[in-house]
A = this chain, B = another copy of it.
């Protein structure tokens, strides 16, 4: 069997288009993997919304993302989408699902082996389904930190970004940058505190996910002189932001599952000061592509050493470990292990 004859079914979520127009992290990853696999000569069928854009074969029964379509019932979309994929399971040698625990429920009703990327556990309440299929489905974690101790994983495959989209800046900017959802988990208020204590200007960018938090803990700091809020930004806005960045502050209060922003900043050559929680230690190499800290005071101190870091190292690390290429290398390795196991059985 060659990669041209090895038929892969890629199941993307149908909350948004694949790739999404704006928000939609899981659909983004599914799209990046799919397009790179096609580029490398794999036979891929993408199960996604009908308006999805892909060079793979598209199989779709849901018109558009249910988050973008008030006329549909999300659960109905989910059931139509997943049943379509599994009713065609025999047409494939491997199913790669990004559809959370729901796709697991069909996995024993087909002989086709399945790999599921666990993009996150929405709640510990979903673990029983993952436990049930632990022996049967191959789980991929998106960081070692995000693994559930009770589950077995075939591999960790880090999410990869399209490095070409991020301009590399050889010289640092002047400002501190916070980029991400405005939410207590993300520590926007700690970025403000760090800015104040260090005397540096902070630019905050991102969607306001927690309005009360924004009003109470962030907005009082915004004076458009020392602390500025510019709202959500797309890829152009990010590049512009990274150009101005002395360092990105990512003082998350909760463990990160992966931490895409850290990778994006590094791709631009910008070092990151991140809390030493969750996957940050895997994404940021301490004292090389940023600094891992435990509190605001450590973050302030770390700022004095930003210039000691080599911006090229930041970029190189992303290309090596967090690019679409490295991600798909990881999944190709997973696929061959599953394929070899299937052939041996």
Contact = CB atoms under 8 A, between A and B. Distances in A.
Interface stretch (A37-45, A74-82, A153-161): A74-82
A230 interface: no
Nearest to A86: B109
A104 B82 CA distance: 12
Interface in A67-123: 71-73, 75-76, 79-80, 82-83, 86-87, 101-102, 104-106, 108-110, 123
A49 to B, nearest CB: 14
Nearest to A75: B102
Contact of A109 (B71, B79, B109): B109
Contacts of A235: none
A55 interface: no
A51 B216 CA distance: 47
Contact of A72 (B104, B105, B125): B125
Contacts of A222: none
A290 B103 CA distance: 51
A102 B123 CA distance: 22
Question: Copy number of this protein in the oligomer?
Answer: 2
A106 B104 CA distance: 12
Contacts of A132: 80, 83
A220 interface: no
Contacts of A126: 73, 76
A324 to B, nearest CB: 32
A129 interface: yes
Contacts of A82: 105
A234 interface: no
A149 interface: no
Contacts of A199: none
B80 A128 contact: yes
A76 to B, nearest CB: 6
A109 B125 contact: no
A108 B125 contact: no
A87 B108 contact: yes
Contact of A105 (B83, B110, B123, B128): B83
Contacts of A108: 83, 87
Interface string A125-153: 11011001000000000000000000000
